[in-house]
Amino acid sequence: MSERVALQYPRRWWWLGLAGLLLIAALSLLPLRAAALAIPNGDKLNHCVAYIVLMLYFGQLAGAHLRQRVSVIIGLIAYGVLIEASQSVMPPRTAEWADLAANLCGILIGLVLLRTPLGRLLIAVEQRF
């Protein structure tokens, strides 16, 4: 079994991740008009994909230990709940249970994808540059 390589610049990756969370929060809360996907429940697909990316990203930063991965999962669930709760009091946005379900699906898919080469993407980026 190969030894796991650590990130060389974890602090930079964490700051970039925080910026990503802030961007998602802004896009989720500001009254912006985005083009809707021309598929039924396309916004749920957006939620799922966003949380796949978040789980892949922060899962790599947290490392492979179960406790760390569980912390990321709990943090992303709390983040999703906070966004939905904020949307419930910020018209014209609305909160939906289905959005939270889509977020959870994305987290679970991201968790599975962490076991693929995508789960080593940040290390590959560092080695490339």
Q: Which of 82, 83, 66, 63 is nearest to 13 (CA)?
A: 63
pLDDT at 2: 43
Residue 74's pLDDT is what? 98
| HSE toward the beta carbon, residue 5, CA cutoff 13 A | 12
Those residues whose C-beta lies under 8 Å from the C-beta of residue 81, and which sit 6 or more positions away, are 100
pLDDT of residue 3: 46
What pLDDT is stored for residue 16 in this prediction? 97
Q: What is the pLDDT of residue 71?
A: 97
Residue 101: per-residue pLDDT: 97
Q: Taking the chain (129 residues) in consecutive chunks of 10 residues, what is each chunk's mean pLDDT? A: 71 97 92 72 90 97 93 98 94 90 98 96 93
pLDDT of residue 36: 64
Amino acid at 20: G
Q: What is the pLDDT of residue 34?
A: 64
